[in-house]
Structure 1
Amino acid sequence: MGNWLTGWSSEGPSGYSSGWSSGGSSGVPSGPAHKREESIQANRPPSEKCLKQTGVFSVTPQKLEEYIQAYLKPNEESLKQIDQAVDAISELLLCSEIPVMKVAKGGSYGRETVLRGCSDGTLVLFMDCFQQFQDQKKYQVELLDTIEQWLKSYEKYKKSVNRGHALVVQVSVPGQSILLQLLPAFNPLRFSENPSSCVYRDLKQSMDRVGASPGEFSGCFTTLQQQFFKKYPRRLKDLILLVKHWYEQYQEKLPPQPLLYALELLTVYAWEQGCQAEEFNMAQGIRAVLQLISQPTNLCVYWTVNYNFEDKTVQNILLYQLNSPRPVILDPTDPTNNVGKDVRLLTEEALTWLNSSSLNNELPAPYWDVLPVPFFNTPSHLLDKFIDDFLQPNKAFLGQIKRAVDMICSFLKNNCFRYSDTKVLKTIKGGSTAKGTALKQGSDADIIVFLSSLDSYNSLKTKRHLFVQEIREQLEACKQKHEWEVNFEMSKWKTPRVLSFTLKSKTLDESVEFDVLPAYNALGQLQSDSTPRPKAYKELIELYASQDIKGGEFSICFTELQRNFIETRTTKLKSLIRLIKHWYKQYERKMKQKASLPPKYALELLTVYAWEQGSGTDDFDTAEGFRTVLDLVIKYRQLCIFWTINYNFEEEHMRKFLLTQIQKKRPVILDPAEPTGDVGGGDRWCWHLLAEEAKEWLSSPCFQVGKKGLVQPWKVPVVQTPGSCGVQIYPTVRGVTQLESIQLWSENSGRSF
């Protein structure tokens, strides 16, 4: 260590001005600086003290933004004065005989999440004499004694320096106080901005040598913490202030646990996974954070921005943490530091505010849909568990949907048209719940109602908006009698095709979102073992050829076939579909530009195709299936996919139509229930955005095996031909077959079968 510890003068340089005023010795804590000081509370304005007593729980969602700005966010001028005072202390230490080579600002102060009044901060002093992590543990106490004596040698600092198990300096200006903990530390980054794997290997080895506790050296990575938080928008940090303020209102009831950093990270995670917009609804954000806090036994949050699974030592640290009892919230700069262990202490209080009448004053009260585990960072061997834990609906959810559907179907059959000549021929449950691919989050249901007055495709096109209006009017008239709450979603179309509404009832645990669609019963009474009526397709194709109709416009008439195509598949394939849909929804939420993405149904069909062509077994590797679907998305410009399960090339009119369909610009993905529906759509949708996202995901731990091994996709052809489906080659005029003409066209257009 050298003789500098005993050789420095007890007198500081004369005339040195710190640029800040002392707040006195009273009220300075002896432990970590995260409690509000009683003297600061006593000096608050009466209006603010009143709000402190009533708490944030009385604030309505519409007033949260105003509350933050008025009572939680520090005054900018006060912060500037605090900065000057902290910079003065830093300069004093850098110019002293104490070998401080660099200073970093940490805690709430360094992360720019300081609450108005009294807040915490850390001044990390990177010591030139520390050559390894264990030096910090060996000499820290001696250094703290030295630094304390040095600061107290200045008259202006004598009353503001307090030493318990930490060395704290109170930095105070009018309206704001920072309890600044001084921490001598080893600098593992030295001259690098980003840590290499060897830094974390050294960290683990040093911890083992000296028996350090997890996170004991996390202060060494304060610079990385600053970088981590610096990139996030100011509004997200305002949400963090709200979360921290809520926590402080319960702090007196709880053991003095250092949970502030954990809550900050959890708020960042909620925003990243559920929003990513710089402008967002503050109430939705706080609900999302409270939702996460209320499920601590599932909570496992971490980032791979500074460390990842590539290095074997770091991989073992991560896997140990991920397999530890939850909650787990890993410091994004130190993989040994689980800061979230005590989040479970807040569960009851989080549920109290989440379910309060002030915050939960809407039906339904919207919040960001965030899972308690990050999907991107889930290792390949844990994907099945991820699906089971977070995507697979439970029996309660499925029972909820069934009750809601039964209520609406009964209403449609028995009440809606009883004074009309129109009869309900049948109702069909559609969408993901009918197919068995529903996600756990969000209660939605589709009901297709086949009406006698809709006796053709044309009648459906011209009259369906009238029946949408009729069903709405009958629901409004009937809701009081049935003790329902029905909130309708306004349609942007003058002649809407669907009635969207939210249903709440005493028999339902939560509200359920419905789409009710009137339809023409083109298939008649479809038997489970029968094929569709050829007449239904012939009429559809003739109408499609004669009028300006978009492909797939009448797909609701074929809902039964769409449902049966997916519903009969193996359970694990439907689980893979859930995973793909979750991936799609995550990207949809984080999109920064408004664009029209391909329909989710296209991704469902792509997943079925990948499994049929690449596996076909009931027990397959989920990571391989996931990788294969992303691989097909990346190759979207080549895709030409169809099925002949409900229609085929046997009849002349259908053969000609299908050959025309598969010559369209790719991607081509034909709806197996309805041949005019090309859900690939060529240039209709922004496949390139999904492809870019898929490429980014190839670096995900989902596809890493071992040190550098990668999960490989199944070998799946990107193009189907009539011949691959067993279709005969029919002769045509001039000696050229239809199949040959398609192949010639493909060669000329740069596409190959």
Structure 2
Amino acid sequence: MGNWLTGWSSDRSSGYSSDWSPGGSSGVPSGPVHKLEKSIQANLPPNENCLQQIAVSLVPSQKLEEYIQANLKPNRKSLKQIDQAVDAIWDLLRSQIPVKEVAKGGSYGRETALRGCSDGTLVLFIDCFQQFQDQIKYQDTFLDFIELWLKIHEKKSVKHEHALVVQVSVPGQRILLQLLPVFNPLRSSENPSSCVYVDLKKSMDKVRASPGEFSDCFTTLQQRFFKKYPRRLKDLILLVKHWYEQCQEKWKTPPPQSLLYALELLTVYAWEQGGQAEDFDMAQGVRTVLRLIRRPTELCVYWTVNYNFEDETVRNILLHQLRSQRPVILDPTDPTNNVGKDDRFWELLTEEAGAWLYSPSLNTESPAPYWDVLPMPLFITPSHLLDKFIKDFLQPNDIFQKQINKAVDIICPFLKNDCTWNSDTKVLKTVKGGSTAKGTALKRGSDADIVVFLSSLDSYDSLKTNRSQFVQEIQKQLEAFVQAQELEVTFENSKWKAPRVLSFTLKSKTLNESVEFDVLPAYDALGQLRSDFTLRPEAYQELIELCASQDIKEGEFSICFTELQRNFIRTRPTKVKSLLRLIKHWYKQYERKMKPKSLPPKYALELLTVYAWEQGSGTDDFDIAEGFRTVLDLVIKYRQLCIFWTVNYNFEEEYMQKFLLTQIQKKRPVILDPADPTGDVGGGDRWHWHLLAEEAKEWLSSPCFQVKQKGLVQPWKVPVMQTPGSCGGQIYPTVGGVTK
């Protein structure tokens, strides 16, 4: 491939003075400004154009970051000089124009300007504009005055539609700056109220304005929206924008400027949904954005940071937008502005995205990793399309299942046959656990749990004492095994001094995707299971006695009951598993957003879902929206929850009765693991249930729970509290001072 940096200057526009000269913004429709920019580009020195002639798709994935720093990222000194020049324009104008505030927009204001030449706006908030309509009436008058004032001071500008364009040039950087006199709907308020957007809608209706026509009025919010994101994400945006510019050169008709903004927002969305890591891998980010671009007919992206579904008028605007033809990428500052609506160019972009996504340079490893990001959020999915959402985006296909089985067929034989144990240790059995074994795995992001029961772990005490040694021994032998088998394994560093689990990612030539594993040594407390009943009923008694005599954390030995946990979920109807996938996806979305908050365990939500179905429906064919709504309703009522089952243990034995009565009188929420009576996954105050409850409340306004002509989806009638009496026990203890 050769040296991909050869001959590329880091200074793409040296030799320009700081005087303003005529210019236009990159990518604007054909007209005077666009033609003028073409002429400027034609007169650039050779070293400024050479970067545009090299396809970014030829840059090796491991060199992308170096490529950005060497060629795309503007020089700080140049940007500082640009800021000074823009401030000089502002100083010149404010002495003659009634403007108290300005905002910097475009790529320049969003801090996503490419090195060399980029677009920008200087929004002038005119004091005498009292409403949106004033902007339409008097904007041209102000533009004429500004143009005249610039001429008096021998500064050149070009009038284009409702803006004046001036070129701000310093050594190393040019900004084609639009000057925009607009109405300020925010006034002194830092955050917009719903009244601002209600007023926007009324004004647009009065003057029959086009969607997004007043979006420049919200430039301050746009600048604030981008300011909070890390610099590395903006570097990824630079890379995507540069690729887009190279695509433009192949097209006869220039695409709308809004499409550039749409790609910036799509990149932000990919990063937010992909985990929000600040030290992310640049190639993974690019692959994720390209994969989203290739799904334009499914794209629906929006934010609720400045507007939301609470006000009826704003909600109707949003719902109208979200139900419109894809792609939908809403401006986070203006709900009327769908910046992704031009589907003509999405077809071209889709083709170009595929070419780069599957190019050798971006696939230097196999499989090439990317973030797990859906093209549309669950929140805006109508209730009647939830089943389709699950099938299209959450439910694994046969390829996924074969992939998991292949990976398990590598690890299980290794544990049974290739691990060299001491003479006292034998593998009694290996059991597949986790979501793949339960039948509730998501399309991406689910791992394979393998529990290995060892003969030398012959009690709960021995498991507690020795499991970390076995974890270390398995890792040591697995490292040697993968070298001999030409496999690739990446181990996850444990945060615990004495780890209970060995976590790693497995890659091989036979696997299309990498597979994440958790291998856990365990004590075979149950023995051989038959029809879900243990041959060792004393297993629970031993556990409860140990918990009473030692300082044992709740559920510490739940791994010993993996088979019971698996069977409890696996036997449920297919549609219940679909509901479980939906709840898990909802939970994972919020978990990403709330890192590193201590949220309730995902297993608690799984049990809550099964309970909701058992108590509220119990049928194989139920309304998925009603089930979803019921689970959220239970989350909101977390302070009242007391839920347990008697399928594996009950109140018949005195020791168990005494223990369970103590468990269910703990602080709410109480959700007992049906396989392990010591495992309260509700946890009382242990986890931040209140945060999950707040999120659930916000979701009640989601289109997921709105049915045309029928109003809102209603939850099933489900009791929030179980008692021994309600479960068929012949005792009625006092719970919270009331006999049950």
Q: TM-score, normalised by structure 2?
A: 0.82
Asked if the contact 2:625/2:705 (under 8 Å) is kept, the reply is: yes
Q: Which residue of 2 aligns with 1:645?
A: 647
Among 570, 573, 576, the alignment partner of 1:573 is 576
Amino acid at match of 1:74: P
CA distance in 1, matches of 2:335, 2:25: 34
Whole-Å Cα distance in 2 between the matches of residues 186 and 494 of structure 1? 60
Which secondary structure state, in structure 1, belongs to the residue aligned with residue 721 of structure 2? coil
Distance 1:163 1:535, change over 3 A: closer
* Equivalent AA in structure 1 for residue 323 of structure 2: N
1:273 aligns with 2:246: no
SS in 1 for 2:676: coil
Q: 1:604, CA displacement in angstroms? A: 0.9
Maintained 8 Å contact 2:532/2:564: no
Q: 1:205 to 1:619 in 2, by over 3 A?
A: farther
Contact 1:200 1:314 in 2 (8 A): no
Choose which of 338, 345, 350 in structure 2 pairs with 1:347.
350
Quick one: which amino acid aligns to residue 683 of structure 2?
G
Does 2:290 match 1:290?
Answer: yes
Q: Deviations 1:466-513 (Å, cap 9, x if unpaired)? A: 544454444334335544223333444454432222221222111111
Cα deviations by residue, 1:139-161 (Å, 9 ceiling, x for unpaired) = 98x76994696367436234x53
Partner of 2:7: none
1:196-227 Cα distance to aligned partner (Å, 9 max, x none):
353343355357x5xx6554554454454344
Deviation at 1:419, TM superposition (A): 9.9
| 2:172 alignment counterpart | 175
Name which of structure 1's ranges 26-35 and 245-254 shifts more when overlaid on structure 2. Answer: 26-35
Residue number among 220, 232, 246 corresponding to 2:243 in the alignment: 246
Q: Give the greater-gyration-radius structure (CA).
A: 1
Q: Give the Å deviation of 1:302.
A: 1.6
Q: Conserved in 2, the CA contact under 8 Å of 1:454 and 1:520? A: yes
Structure 1 distance, partners of 2:507, 2:108, is 45
Alpha carbons of structure 1 residues 597 and 172: separation in structure 2 relative to 1, 3 Å:
same
Distance (whole Å) between structure 1 residues aligned to residue 117 and residue 439 of structure 2? 53
Q: Which amino acid aligns with 2:620?
A: D
Distance in 1 separating the partners of 2:25 and 2:554? 73
How many pairs are equivalent?
A: 712
- Matched residue SS, 2:431: strand
The residue number in structure 2 matching 1:299 is 299
CA contact (8 A) 1:401 1:443 kept: no
Does 1:512 pair with 2:515?
yes
**3-state DSSP of counterpart to 1:596:** coil
User: Which residue pairs with 1:14 in the alignment?
Assistant: none
The partner residue of 1:636 within 638, 642, 647 is: 638
CA contact under 8 A between 1:390 and 1:440: conserved in structure 2? yes
Query: Are the aligned partners of 1:522 and 1:536 in contact in 2 as well (CA < 8 Å)?
Result: yes
- Return the alpha-carbon distance in structure 2 between the equivalents of residues 462 and 363 of structure 1: 39
1:438-453 to structure 2, matched below 5 A, reads: 438-453=441-456
Does residue 371 of structure 2 align to residue 372 of structure 1? no
Where do residues 26-105 of structure 1 align in structure 2 (5 Å cutoff)? 30=31, 67-89=67-89, 105=104
AA aligned to 1:682 is: G
Which amino acid letter does the alignment assign opposite residue 265 of structure 1?
L
Q: Separation in 1 of the partners of 2:36 and 2:531? A: 67
Residue 349 of structure 1 deviates from its aligned partner by 3.8
**Structure 1, residues 18-69: CA drift from partner, whole Å, max 9, x if none?**
x9513467999846779987757976796x8776655655667776556545
Q: Secondary structure at the match of 1:196?
A: helix
- Name 1:157's counterpart in structure 2: 155
Moved more, 696-705 or 669-678: 696-705
State how far apart, in whole Å, the 1-side matches of 2:526 and 2:624 are. Answer: 36
Distance, in Å, in 2 between the alignment partners of 1:200 and 1:661 is: 56
Task: Give deviations 1:115-152, integer Å, cap 9, x for gaps.
Answer: 22111123456779989878877998x76994696367
- Aligned counterparts, 1:506-655, within 5 A: 506-528=509-531, 530=533, 533-591=536-594, 594-655=596-657
1:489 partnered with 2:492: yes
Query: Residue 451 of structure 1 contacts residue 519 of structure 1 at CA under 8 Å; is this kept in 2?
Result: yes
Return closer, same or farther for 1:720/1:45 CA change in 2, 3 Å cut-off. Answer: farther
**Retained in 2: the 8 A contact 1:151–1:161?**
no
| TM superposition shift of 1:364 | 6.8
SS of residue in 2 equivalent to 1:253: coil
Q: Which moved more, 1:413-422 or 1:532-541?
A: 413-422
TM-score by length of 1: 0.81
Alignment of 1:305-324 (within 5 A): 305-309=305-309, 315=315, 317-324=317-324
In structure 1, the residue corresponding to 2:177 is in which secondary structure?
strand
Could you tell me which residue of structure 2 aligns to residue 6 of structure 1? none
Q: Distance in 1 between matches of 2:655 and 2:413?
A: 40
User: Amino acid of the residue matched to residue 628 of structure 2?
Assistant: F
CA distance in structure 1 between the aligned counterparts of 2:469 and 2:89, rounded to whole angstroms: 74
Structure 1 residue 570: Cα displacement: 2.7
Q: Percent identity?
A: 74
Aligned alpha-carbon RMSD (Å):
4.2
SS of aligned partner of 1:296: coil
Instruction: Please say which of residues 662-671 and 119-128 is displaced more in the overlay.
Output: 119-128
Q: Which amino acid aligns with 1:122?
A: T
Query: CA offset at residue 338 of structure 1?
Result: 2.6
Structure 1 distance, partners of 2:334, 2:597, is 38
